[in-house]
Amino acid sequence: MTAVAVAAGARIRPRVGPGLSRLITYTFLLAFVLYVLSPFLAILVTSIAQDWFGGRILPGSLTLRWFDWAFNVTNLPGVMANSFIIAGLTIAISLVIGIPTAWALGRRHVRARNVLMTLILLPKTVPPITFALGLSREFYSFDLVDTHLGVALAHTTLALPFVVLIMSATFAGLDERVLEAGRVCGGNWFRNLVHLVLPMAMPGLMASVLFTFVTSFNEFTLTLVTYGPDTLTLTVQTYLAIGDGFLEVASAISVVLLVPSVILLLLIQRQIRPENILGGVKGL
Amino acid sequence: MGAMIELVDVVKRYGDVVACNRLNLAVDQGELVTLLGASGCGKTTALRCITGSLRPDGGRIIIDGRDVTDVPTHKRNIGVVFQNFALFPHLTVVDNVGYPLRVRGVRSAERRERAIEALRLVRLDGLGGRFPRELSGGQQQRVGLARAIVYEPTVILFDEPLSNLDAKLRLEMREEIASLKDRLGFTSIYVTHDQEEALSLSDRIAVMKDGVVHQVGRPTEIYGAPKTAFVAEFLGNPNRLTGVCVERTEDQVVVEADGQRIAAIAESDTPKVGERAVVYVRPESVRIRNGTASADESTLRATVVRSAFLGDSTEYILSLSDSVSWHLRLEHTTRLTVGEAVDLSALRAGCRAFALGESADDGTHRGASAEA
Ligand SMILES: Nc1ncnc2c1ncn2[C@@H]1O[C@H](COP(=O)(O)OP(=O)(O)OP(=O)(O)O)[C@@H](O)[C@H]1O
Ligand SMILES: Nc1ncnc2c1ncn2[C@@H]1O[C@H](COP(=O)(O)OP(=O)(O)OP(=O)(O)O)[C@@H](O)[C@H]1O
Ligand SMILES: [Mg+2]
Ligand SMILES: [Mg+2]
């Protein structure tokens, strides 16, 4: 079997030996990995480097000073708390609005379904800065600027399309006959919701929560027009630090900012297969 | 004892389609009544009205003396075995079977005990820890059965429970359902389009077409004395001959078609002389004539067109005219050759004649009217 495959391969590429072909493959792979990872590497090194100027290839020495600065000078714990509070609020609002909407779209006959879907996707398809401009004007008139709720509401406009798409696909995928069996077995709507619908929709729910969290935690454009001194988030703080010329401090904050995303990425990679979640999603 | 399940004038429409058209049916305590009919005739719709998954547009549904027409599904206390099993994919077999008990507030230890007992009844002991996806089709349907009987409902509905199983398993499960019914004594409505299943399993059969019950009766009645052309055609795989009624006496009706005459037993609603008529002939009432025909047999001429070996017998396709072909099963002691001309004898008691009016009941447009 293997011998046949090798023989076939040899016939197709008679001049390139297996060693060379492998070398080429790995070179490209390595280049790709470096390209994707190099910004992270740069940030990571900057955040712990000292005397890393000019043409030096490696920093003169390593230090945790920038993290110290980040924590003391910029009130990093408070900023981090803001990011988490806002992300939490965004998750809550997105689920509360998104789940019933998704249920209606996925399981009921909705007349203006296409119009609704377009509307839901709109905030994701227009240039963020355009959307941000409109949003900020609105927020000023409602006094929502510099409140956790306000920033979370702004983030919700971005997270909601994800939640609605994922959850409506999840709900549409639920087998009506199984739910009917639940009712016939004697379960009222609440019991069937808790014992049947929720467990069966769990992968979609998990994905919604994770996506919403990442969206909010990493959001920049909309935050910039809705934040204030009390609602400074990690992304905006990073931006401000860059603006002030503290590249090392900005890098240190970025590293902190990266941690949840990396954890989530690992979680997603382990627990959730994208094809399962997005299998039924159309128009994404 | 009064009826356990009663449908009174149940009507259900989907837009223009009348899926159930003034359905009336009464099922006695401990009885198994089959709804038998072609695909799309409204069997599932009728069943879903009984479970409460559908709200009928008219009529009442009475279970055990209680009018449940407006009672939500989960309060009707009915067991249902679904065609596609409809097991809960995220629960183990034991938890699937235990679900009806769980929603009734039965404690977990007792729940488990009773679920295992129900699984033992359907001969699935030892598989309780598996998930539905780890079971074969037959095993999944047994779990469905166990889930329906576990809380000892007085009424169990079956919606084509065996149609997703292979032929051998179907026979086995049929036996199993019959023996479970004998042991547990539940009352049931059993939906199927398989006449053999209906005939062998039922106390009574209700033959349905286009949302209407054509006839209700014991299997022998339905088979032996069909009241409409549809019922005659649907059961027993009969041969048919369409022609004109030429004679009608006290005890027989004679129909002539393409120069051939056939006598059928006379009933009050059989065709009048001069009317177009269809005669249904049970295959078991037809034989190859040798010698003279007796008084209660008609003789028909036919040519052998094709033969099919079936193991214990051989089936011959015989042509009576250009447009009429019959099938006939013969033991291997009689052999016919293709192209041979034979004389057939049709026993009058196995022949039924029906007038071919304008009505859709003539059985010829069954497919077309089901689609309309
Ligand atoms: N939800 C629905 N909307 C519209 N028409 C429907 C719906 N459900 C069933 N029908 C129609 O009602 C008629 C009866 O359907 P039903 O499912 O009761 O048939 P059935 O006898 O169970 O058929 P089968 O043996 O194929 O399961 C059919 O003509 C079907 O097309
Ligand atoms: N994923 C699984 N894990 C454990 N056991 C399994 C799994 N899938 C099937 N089995 C077992 O393997 C056996 C054969 O199953 P399979 O589904 O191949 O049967 P089958 O011939 O298709 O039966 P049926 O006609 O009922 O569909 C059964 O005993 C079943 O319980
Ligand atoms: Mg059906
Ligand atoms: Mg199988």
Task: Please identify, by atom number, the ligand 1 atom nearest to the C-alpha of residue B211.
Answer: 14
pLDDT band at residue A16, thresholds of 50, 70 and 90? low
- Answer whether A123's CB lies under 8 Å from A157's CB: yes
What one-letter code names the amino acid at A43? I
What's the CA gap between B231 and B36, in Å, rounded?
A: 10
pLDDT at B1 over 70: no
Yes or no, beta carbons of B80 and A184 under 8 Å apart: yes
Structure tokens given for A124 = 């994701």
What is chain B's mean pLDDT, rounded?
Answer: 89
What one-letter code names the amino acid at A147? T
pLDDT band at residue A249, thresholds of 50, 70 and 90? confident
Counting residues of chain B whose pLDDT is more than 90, the rounded percentage is: 65
C-alpha distances in angstroms, B244 versus A83, A208, B277? 89, 72, 5
Q: Which residues of A touch B (CB under 8 A)?
A: 175, 177-178, 180-188, 191, 195-196, 199-200
pLDDT at A11 over 60: no
For residue A42, what pLDDT is reported? Answer: 84
pLDDT at B364 over 60: no
What's the CA gap between B64 and B146, in Å, rounded?
A: 22
Residue B175: CB partners within 8 Å, gap ≥ 6? none
3-state secondary structure of A257: helix
Closest residue CA from atom 3 of ligand 1:
B14
Instruction: Identify the residue with better confidence: A58 or B52.
Output: B52
- Answer whether B38's CB lies under 8 Å from B368's CB: no
Nearest to A186 among B77, B84, B87 (CB): B77
What one-letter code names the amino acid at A264? L
Closest residue CA from atom 2 of ligand 1:
B14
pLDDT at B292 over 90: no
DSSP assignment of A57-113, as one string? Answer: SS-SEE-SHHHHHHHHHS-HHHHHHHHHHHHHHHHHHHHHHHHHHHHHHHHS--TTH
- Answer whether B282's CB lies under 8 Å from B246's CB: no
Polymer length of chain B: 372
Query: Ligand 1, from B20, B41, B194: best to mutate by most atoms within 8 Å of Cβ?
Result: B41
For residue A53, what pLDDT is reported? Answer: 64
Nearest to B147 among A175, A185, A196 (CB): A185
What's the CA gap between B343 and B73, in Å, rounded?
A: 59
In this structure, of A73-77, A217-221, B83-87, B141-145, the range with the lowest mean pLDDT score is A73-77
pLDDT band at residue B76, thresholds of 50, 70 and 90? very high
Structure tokens given for B226 = 């069909």
In a mutational test of the A interface, the residue from B49, B73, B84, B156 whose CB has the highest number of chain A CBs within 10 Å is B73
In this structure, of A46-60, A244-258, B209-223, B353-367, the range with the lowest mean pLDDT score is B353-367
Yes or no, beta carbons of B82 and A181 under 8 Å apart: yes
Ligand nearest to the CA of B38: 1
What's the CA gap between A244 and A196, in Å, rounded?
A: 54
Instruction: Identify the residue with better confidence: B254 or A58.
Output: B254
Residue of chain A whose Cα is closest to the Cα of B104: A186
What does the pLDDT look like over B307-351, one tens digit per residue?
A: 999 988 899 999 998 889 999 999 888 888 999 999 999 999 899
- The radius of gyration of chain A's CA atoms, rounded to the nearest angstrom, is 24
Return the axis-axis angle of helices A76-107 and A198-218, rounded to nearest 10°. Answer: 140
Ligand 2 neighbour B137 (Cβ under 6 A): yes
For residue B189, what pLDDT is reported? Answer: 96
- Answer whether B44's CB lies under 8 Å from B206's CB: no
CATH fold label, B3-224: Rossmann fold (3.40.50)
For residue B359, what pLDDT is reported? Answer: 43
What does the pLDDT look like over B229-243, one tens digit per residue?
A: 899 989 888 999 999
What does the pLDDT look like over B5-33, one tens digit per residue?
A: 999 999 999 999 999 999 999 999 999 99
Yes or no, beta carbons of A181 and B87 under 8 Å apart: yes
* Sequence spans of domains, chain B: 3-224, 237-358
Dihedral (CA of B194, B200, B201, B202) sign: positive
Neighbours of ion ligand 4 (CB under 5 A): B 137
- The helix (run of H) or strand (run of E) holding residue A237 is helix A234-243
What one-letter code names the amino acid at A67? F
For residue A112, what pLDDT is reported? Answer: 78
DSSP assignment of B169-238, as one string? Answer: HHHHHHHHHHHHHHHH--EEEEEES-HHHHHHH-SEEEEEETTEEEEEE-HHHHHHS-SSHHHHHHSS--
pLDDT band at residue B368, thresholds of 50, 70 and 90? very low
| Residue B294 DSSP code | P
Render the burial of B47-58: b for 16+ CB within 10 Å, e for the rest: bbbbbbbbebee
What's the CA gap between A232 and B163, in Å, rounded?
A: 63
Q: Report residue B330: phi and psi, to 5°.
A: -130, 145
Q: Quote the distance between the C-alpha of residue A2 and its chain's center.
A: 41
What does the pLDDT look like over A101-126, one tens digit per residue?
A: 899 888 887 777 788 878 877 877 78
- Answer whether B246's CB lies under 8 Å from B256's CB: yes
Residue B76: CB partners within 8 Å, gap ≥ 6? B51, B52, B63, B68
In this structure, of A34-48, B10-24, B57-71, the range with the lowest mean pLDDT score is A34-48
For residue B218, what pLDDT is reported? Answer: 96
What's the CA gap between B159 and B145, in Å, rounded?
A: 11
What does the pLDDT look like over B84-127, one tens digit per residue?
A: 899 999 999 999 999 999 999 999 999 999 999 999 988 888 89
Structure tokens given for B192 = 């199927």
For residue A125, what pLDDT is reported? Answer: 79
What's the CA gap between A209 and A162, in Å, rounded?
A: 10
- Answer whether B369's CB lies under 8 Å from B210's CB: yes
pLDDT at A224 over 50: yes
For residue B369, what pLDDT is reported? Answer: 36
CATH number for the domain whose boundaries are A76-277: 1.10.3720.10
Judging contacts by C-beta atoms under 8 Å, the chain A residues touching residue B103 are: 185-188, 191, 195
Residue A109: CB partners within 8 Å, gap ≥ 6? none
Ligand 1 neighbour B184 (Cβ under 6 A): no
Counting residues of chain B whose pLDDT is more than 70, the rounded percentage is: 95
- Answer whether B370's CB lies under 8 Å from B363's CB: no
For residue A275, what pLDDT is reported? Answer: 47
Yes or no, beta carbons of A200 and B99 under 8 Å apart: no
C-alpha distances in angstroms, A24 versus A27, A70, A203? 5, 43, 39
- The helix (run of H) or strand (run of E) holding residue B5 is strand B3-14
* Sequence spans of domains, chain A: 19-50+58-63, 76-277
For residue A2, what pLDDT is reported? Answer: 44
Judging contacts by C-beta atoms under 8 Å, the chain B residues touching residue A188 are: 72, 74, 103
Yes or no, beta carbons of B82 and A188 under 8 Å apart: no
Q: Locate tokens 């007792």: which residue?
A: B110
Nearest CA to B49 among B39, B40, B59?
Answer: B59
pLDDT band at residue A271, thresholds of 50, 70 and 90? low
What does the pLDDT look like over A50-62, one tens digit per residue?
A: 776 666 677 777 7
Structure tokens given for B238 = 């009969």
pLDDT at B305 over 70: yes
**What SS3 string covers B48-104?**
HHHHCCCCCCEEEEEECCEECCCCCHHHCCEEEECCCCCCCCCCCHHHHHHHHHHCC
Class of domain B237-358: mainly beta
Interface of B with A in 87-116 (CB under 8 A): 87-90, 99-100, 102-104
What's the CA gap between A178 and B53, in Å, rounded?
A: 12
pLDDT at A90 over 90: yes
What does the pLDDT look like over B129-173, one tens digit per residue?
A: 999 999 998 899 999 999 999 999 989 999 999 988 888 888 888
The predicted model scores a pTM of 0.75
What's the CA gap between B266 and B331, in Å, rounded?
A: 31
Residue A168: CB partners within 8 Å, gap ≥ 6? A101, A102, A103, A105, A106
What's the CA gap between B96 and B133, in Å, rounded?
A: 12
3-state secondary structure of B302: strand
> Cα dihedral angle (B132, B134, B136, B137), rounded to 10 degrees?
30
pLDDT at A9 over 50: no
Q: What is the mean pLDDT of residues B268-279?
A: 84
What does the pLDDT look like over A187-214, one tens digit per residue?
A: 999 999 999 999 999 989 988 998 899 8
What's the CA gap between B13 and B16, in Å, rounded?
A: 7
Instruction: Identify the residue with better confidence: B367 or B95.
Output: B95
- The helix (run of H) or strand (run of E) holding residue A181 is helix A176-184
How big is the A-B interface in CB pairs under 8 Å?
61
What's the CA gap between B370 and B208, in Å, rounded?
A: 12
For residue B166, what pLDDT is reported? Answer: 84
Structure tokens given for A282 = 């159309």
